Structures are given as C-alpha cells and as structure tokens.
C-alpha cells in the first residue's frame, strides 16, 4: 500500500477538518445488529454458524428474515468507520449515507471474512497451501477479491497466516500449515492476489493479515488459550508470514485474541507498535478481533472497558471490532489526557489512508452489473478455477499395490454419509456458498458415469447403520470407497479437539469392512491433520481430500479414475496417535533424539516418527532424485539434481529444498524448508532441477530479535518430502 504525495496531502487535509468525535468515529467498526427474534451482534452470529452452534440452514433463515439495525444515524453523524457485511445493495445504501449525508463524506470500509473464496469456494487454506503452487494461490485470491467487490466488500479479513503446529487447534484449517517458509510464500501470493488487481481498478480489496500474533501457539491446541515463547521462536516461526505480507504492502492486520507472554495481543505495544508498525512497517491499520478489547477485562489486564480501550489505542490498536468501547470512551480519554491527540491522529490517518488507497473517495459503490453477475449461475471461469484448485490440493497418502486409479468400468461400493453431503465440501469460514454450486463426492462420481452402489452407513456423528453396513459388506464389489472425516463445523474457530482421530463410528465402519475382506480406499474430508495410525496401516489407499470447496466431488472423482494424477503435498505433519501432538517436522534437535534405546526423546507407547511427514504426497507415477550437486556463488547456494519420472504416466512432483544449520549459537531446527518447485515430467523423462538458496536466507533471529547469519557448516537436502531426501554439505562464510 503506497500513497502518492497528493493522496497523503488529501489525508492530512481531511484529518485537519475532523472534530474529535469524527476522528473517534473512524475507529469504530459496527456490525448490523440483528433485531426481531435474534438479538446477538452479527459477528457472534457468524461465529455461531462457524462453530456449529446453529446450522447453515438456520443461519440462512435468520439472515433472510431478520430485521437489522445498520446504525444509519451513527453513519450519518460520522461515527462509523467500517461496517461488517456482504450485501451489496445494503453496502451501496450505507455508503450513500456516509458519502452524501455525513458532514465530511468519508466512505466506509466494508469488511467481511473471505477466507478461501466467497461464492466461489476454494479449498481451505491448509489444503491449498499443499498445492505448493504460488501462482494458483494468487489467482484464487484475485478471484475472491473480484467477487468481494461485487458483494460490496472492500476489506477482506484474510489471509489468515497463523503457522500452526498443533492439529488439535481447530483453526489449522484456515491457515497455510506448519512451515514459516511456505506460509510466507502463501502470504505473498495472497496479498498480491487480493490487493493488486490486474484487470480493473475496481477488483482489488484491502487485505487484513491475521491473527497477529502467535495465536496458533495456544497451549494444548485449545482456542483462545495463552501463549508463551522466546523471542527467537516468535521471530523465526510466527512472524515470517506477516513480515512477508508487510513487504508486499498488506493494508491491515487483525490483533489476535491470545495473550503472548502475559500481554494480550490487543493491548500489546511491543508486538503492535514496536514490531508490526515499527520493524515490519505496516502502513495501514490494526483492527481488534471481535469483542477483543472488552475481553481484556476478562484476561485480567484491564479493570474495565475504559481502561481496556485506552490501553488498546495507546498500544497501537487502531480500530475496534464489535464493542463500541472506542466510540463510547475515547473522546473523553483524549480530553482527560489519557490518550494523546497524536495517537488518535495516527490511528485515523492509517484508516483514512487505506480508504484513499482503495479509491473509495472516487467510487465507493458497487455497480449493478457486478451485482447482477452473481445473481445467476457462477461464471464458468470461476467454476474452472475452483476445480483446478481442488485438483491441485488433493494429496495421495497411500496406494498399496497401485489399487488406484480405479477402472471406471468396474463396479464398487461407496460408503460414508459425507459422500452425499454437498453442504460439507465447503469447509470452515464459508459464508456465501450456494448449495446448487456444490458438488458432493457422490455427485462427482455420478457426473463421470461411475458404477457404484451407495450406503451411507455412518457419518462423523451419530450411530452406525448396521443394515447399511451389512449391505455394503454383502455387495459383490471387492472395492469400497469410504468417504470419512469431519464435518465443516469440526474445524475453524472454537473447534479445538482433544481427539483428532477420525470421529464417531467411522473407524469402526472401516474396521468392519477391512475384517470382511474388502479393499478399502478412504477419501478423507477434514479440516485438520488427523491421527491416522490405524488407517495408514490397514487401509489399501488413502486420499486426503480436505474440504476442497464447491468442486470437491468432480476433483475427487477425476483423481479416483486417474484423469488427474495427484500432485498435492502435505502442508502439515500427520500424527499416528493423538498424544504425539504438537507434531511438526522443523523441530529443534535434542541432545537425545528418539531411537530404540531407552533414554532418548520418545514415547513408550507411540512412534516418534510422524504418520505422514510434512511435504509428503504420492503420485500415480514415481519420481527418483539423484546426483545432488551443490555449487556456491557470492550470494547463493545452488542445489542441482536430476529428477526422473520412473513410472509410466506423466506426473507433477513438488521438489523440495531443505537446510540445516549444523552448529549455531542457538539450537536450530533439524530441517527447514527453503525452496520448492512444481516439476511436470512425462513418463520416463528426467530433468535437471536447480533450487536456489540465497545466503541471506540462511540465518535466523536470535533472542534479541536480531537477524544473524553465522559462518559454518550447513546440510542441504532435496527430496519429495521432508523425510526422504538426498543430502549434501556446504561450509559457508557470510
Ligand atoms: C473472529 C475471528 O477470530 C476472526 O478471524 C474473524 O475475522 C472475526 N471474528 C470477524 O468475523
């Protein structure tokens, strides 16, 4: 986000004309209050549907009928800076009040959660990151931005950039997985896609990077829980994607709910002012998370609302989502000298700058033609991108005896309630999907004329239908495709789980099918890495399908029948059993890495290895890595190697480059991802691949938050996942 000198002057002139109250008004984000039968704030309603307290259907009904108070009088009085919502007609109405009826005519930021697409729902982020396809990640964000604008939204509460290492945390679904390097690439792609339009100036939005910071490090994977960590861990693991996003010019950030080392991120001047606005250079503003300013009282860091509001603004939190504490108390606080006018002006300047950058002063409205574009069926290019993203995000985890791809002419049995749930393909934080757009796995199979009998048998909750199970077992097909996993509501906000094995009676169903001698191909639908120890051992094949968005069914059926050769990789480690969590590949070494001998770092009752490591994913062909050569020039190490497709079909491999700093002044991870490339090879083809590691990226942040590059020995690894690698060594003097 860069403003021209003229734009900066415009902001200063406007600021100069504002009253104290009007300034405070810009810091207030309102949500329409739902009145008449459902009296909760809009953002809480969104949370209720997200965490499953109410169903999508109930939510839809409430939305269709509820009367809303949009606080028009406050908008008219200049007391609202932003409104939450996704109704373009209403957005135009409210903008008109702000622009034509308020004294200074300042347009509104219209904010909404567009995490992995709006009406065009793409794969959840943890899945899409596994495509390792930066260009795809950018294109899906750009399409989300375009749809957002048509829905009246000009500010997206995305991308979610929480590096997540504990799969019990339900919000792992919303982010790019466990690796800071991959998360940083994801961050850059998303900021470019959301903020840099390529076709028309209307089709970009302001991004809101979240949740700042270390929210995913919540103790025990329990949402909203406390976080504690060293400076070096904060800088090396959690900050990198935010740093990358700021380098790309991200317009805003959302402070996270958690406390970090005892200070809630809402009132944390070290993380907000010193790091985010100072070191990382955020030029736009920081918004609180929903109701988070008030929650500072519950945290026990503020005595009351007034105290919380003053602490937040002074700490560098610029906009209040949902509490109206700024609205109610900041003007008085300025009069009392508890908040300086400079502090208030800085917050207002940042918010106005984003509005100017968005071009809202020139045109705050949505064109009727844009609204009309989504009144009917989704445009074909949107559907095509949903399908491409879904196909590239699928990860083949097991394929014993090449049971896959299936032959379309052979009949099989399909089980699992999830197979026939179009409403469950979308994943957490999908708020504008339409059922008719959604393709369930069963529908996807029907679309290609597959021959199968279907018995739901059981889903993630509820009982096992014995009759249906018996029919599935008695059927004469040897192969059973079992669609199992989690409902959308089992991941996302407030959806932490202590047990991350396949829920309900689904494992029991799988066990009975295996015991009956069936060959079982599991297709997983889930929002988090699951503990798959039993499934990995006993099932014939496993396809990780995540929640792939509206084209899930078509993408899965193409993979099942080999029309698409899977190329996705895991953006997170999968455990075998619950107790291994948090589990991640880039952990520090210990003095006693786990081995078979007793006094080493391991469990007595669980393996030390992951079930499936970070970066893992099979293909219908096989790839061989050989001839690793490391060459060095002034600024880079170049790892070149031969990648060969040793199978008999074409395929795409994500070749990965890892590094280990062998001895440093702080213990470093056993491996760190430093590069990757998608390489497509015809059957039998080989190619020399070169992955480059810049020397300036070989350092780390120490406990003073200082980036250091230390001379010494480095191990370099290349391979198709974080475990199976070729290795070499290089001694580097910086
Ligand atoms: C709470 C969530 O933590 C955040 O991600 C979201 O953007 C806001 N609510 C607004 O819906």
Q: What is the mean pLDDT of the chain?
A: 96
Residue 39's pLDDT band (cuts 50, 70, 90): low
Residues 485-535 have pLDDT tens digits of 999 999 999 999 999 999 999 999 999 999 999 999 999 999 999 999 999
What is the token pair recorded at 635? 């600024």
Residue 370's pLDDT band (cuts 50, 70, 90): confident
Is the pLDDT score of 45 beyond 90? no
| Contact between residue 305 and residue 345 where contact means Cβ atoms under 8 Å apart | no
CA distance linking residue 501 with residue 580, whole number of Å: 12
Predicted TM-score (pTM) of this structure: 0.96
CA distance linking residue 206 with residue 289, whole number of Å: 17
Annotated catalytic sites, by residue? 289
What is the token pair recorded at 154? 């000009």
Cβ of 290 closer than 6 Å to ligand 1, yes or no, is yes
The candidate with the shortest Cα–Cα distance to 261, out of 274, 273, 275, 271, is 271
The candidate with the shortest Cα–Cα distance to 618, out of 555, 568, 669, 683, is 568
Cβ of 87 closer than 6 Å to ligand 1, yes or no, is no
Rg, Å, the chain Cα set: 26
| Contact between residue 201 and residue 362 where contact means Cβ atoms under 8 Å apart | no
What is the token pair recorded at 256? 């996270």
CA distance linking residue 660 with residue 589, whole number of Å: 11
What is the token pair recorded at 513? 């099918």
CA distance linking residue 218 with residue 226, whole number of Å: 5
Cβ of 171 closer than 6 Å to ligand 1, yes or no, is no
Q: How remote is the C-alpha of 465 from its chain's centroid?
A: 35
Distance 611 CA to ligand 1 centre (A): 32
| DSSP string over 371-392 | HHHTTSSPPHHHHHHHHHHHHH
Distance 290 CA to ligand 1 centre (A): 6
pLDDT for position 43 = 73
CA distance linking residue 704 with residue 665, whole number of Å: 12
Mutate to test the pocket of ligand 1, among 225, 289, 321 (most ligand atoms within 8 A of CB): 289
pLDDT for position 200 = 59
DSSP 3-state of 645 = strand
What is the token pair recorded at 161? 């950039």
Residue having the nearest C-alpha atom to atom 4 of ligand 1: 289
What is the token pair recorded at 356? 């100017």
Residue having the nearest C-alpha atom to atom 11 of ligand 1: 43
Residues 390-445 have pLDDT tens digits of 999 999 999 999 999 999 999 999 999 999 999 999 999 998 999 999 999 999 99
pLDDT for position 201 = 59
DSSP 3-state of 46 = helix
The candidate with the shortest Cα–Cα distance to 360, out of 286, 247, 251, 254, is 251
What is the token pair recorded at 54? 């109410």
| DSSP string over 307-362 | HHHHHHHHHT--BEESS-HHHHHHHHHHHTTSS-HHHHHHHHHHHHHHHHHTTTTT
């Amino acid at each position: 986000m860069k403003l021209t000198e003229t734009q900066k002057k415009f902001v200063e002139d406007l600021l100069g004309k504002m009253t104290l109250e009007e300034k405070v008004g810009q810091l207030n984000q309102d949500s329409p209050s739902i009145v008449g039968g459902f009296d909760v704030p809009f953002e809480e309603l969104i949370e209720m549907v997200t965490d499953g307290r109410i169903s999508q259907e109930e939510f839809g009904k409430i939305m269709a009928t509820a009367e809303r108070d949009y606080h028009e009088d406050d908008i008219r009085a200049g007391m609202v800076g932003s409104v939450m919502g996704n109704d373009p007609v209403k957005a135009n109405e409210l903008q008109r009040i702000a622009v034509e009826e308020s004294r200074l005519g300042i347009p509104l930021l219209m904010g909404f959660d567009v995490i992995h697409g709006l009406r065009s729902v793409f794969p959840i982020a943890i899945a899409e990151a596994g495509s390792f396809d930066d260009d795809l990640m950018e294109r899906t964000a750009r399409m989300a931005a375009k749809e957002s604008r048509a829905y009246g939204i000009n500010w997206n509460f995305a991308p979610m950039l929480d590096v997540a290492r504990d799969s019990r945390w339900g919000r792992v679904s919303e982010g790019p997985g466990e690796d800071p390097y991959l998360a940083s690439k994801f961050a850059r792609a998303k900021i470019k896609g959301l903020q840099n339009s390529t076709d028309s100036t209307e089709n970009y939005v302001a991004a809101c990077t979240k949740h700042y910071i270390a929210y995913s490090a919540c103790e025990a994977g329990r949402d909203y829980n406390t976080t504690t960590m060293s400076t070096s861990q904060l800088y090396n693991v959690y900050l990198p994607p935010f740093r990358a996003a700021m380098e790309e010019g991200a317009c805003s950030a959302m402070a996270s709910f958690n406390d970090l080392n005892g200070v809630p991120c809402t009132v944390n001047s070290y993380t907000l002012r010193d790091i985010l606005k100072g070191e990382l250079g955020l030029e736009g503003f920081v918004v609180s998370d929903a109701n988070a300013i008030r929650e500072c009282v519950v945290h026990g860091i503020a005595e009351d609302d007034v105290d919380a509001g003053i602490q937040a603004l002074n700490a560098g939190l610029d906009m209040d989502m949902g509490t109206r504490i700024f609205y109610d108390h900041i003007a008085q606080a300025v009069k009392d000298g508890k908040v300086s006018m400079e502090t208030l002006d800085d917050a207002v300047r940042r918010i106005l700058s984003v509005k100017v950058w968005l071009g809202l002063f020139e045109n705050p409205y949505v064109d009727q033609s844009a609204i009309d574009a989504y009144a009917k069926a989704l445009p074909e290019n949107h559907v095509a991108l949903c399908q491409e993203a879904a196909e590239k995000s699928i990860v083949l985890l097991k394929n014993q005896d090449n049971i896959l791809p299936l032959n379309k002419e052979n009949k099989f049995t399909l089980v699992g309630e999830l197979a026939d749930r179009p409403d469950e393909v979308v994943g957490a934080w999908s708020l504008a999907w339409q059922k008719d757009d959604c393709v369930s796995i069963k529908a996807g199979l029907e679309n290609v004329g597959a021959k199968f009998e279907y018995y739901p048998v059981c889903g993630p909750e509820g009982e096992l239908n014995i009759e249906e199970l018996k029919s599935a077992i008695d059927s004469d097909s040897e192969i059973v495709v079992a669609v199992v996993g989690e409902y959308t509501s089992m991941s996302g906000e407030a959806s932490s789980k202590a047990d991350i094995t396949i829920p309900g009676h689904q494992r029991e169903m799988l066990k009975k099918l295996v015991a009956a001698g069936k060959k079982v191909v599991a297709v997983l639908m889930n929002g988090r890495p699951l503990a798959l120890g039993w499934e990995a051992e006993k099932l014939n094949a496993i396809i990780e399908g995540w929640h792939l968005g509206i084209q899930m069914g078509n993408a899965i059926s193409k993979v099942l029948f080999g029309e698409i050769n899977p190329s996705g990789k895991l953006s997170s480690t999968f455990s075998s059993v619950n107790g291994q969590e948090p589990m991640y590949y880039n952990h520090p070494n210990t003095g006693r890495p786990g081995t078979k001998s007793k006094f080493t770092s391991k469990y007595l009752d669980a393996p030390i290895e992951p079930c499936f490591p970070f970066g893992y994913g099979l293909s219908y062909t096989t790839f061989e890595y050989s001839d690793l050569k490391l060459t060095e020039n002034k600024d880079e190490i170049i790892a070149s190697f031969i990648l060969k497709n040793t199978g008999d079909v074409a395929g795409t491999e994500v070749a990965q480059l890892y590094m280990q700093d062998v001895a440093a002044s702080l213990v470093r991870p056993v491996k760190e991802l430093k590069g990757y490339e998608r390489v497509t090879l015809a059957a039998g083809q080989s190619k020399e691949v070169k992955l480059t590691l810049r020397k300036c990226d070989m350092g780390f942040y120490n406990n003073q938050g200082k980036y250091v590059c230390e001379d010494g020995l480095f191990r370099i690894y290349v391979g198709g996942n974080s475990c199976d690698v070729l290795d070499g060594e290089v001694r580097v003097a910086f």
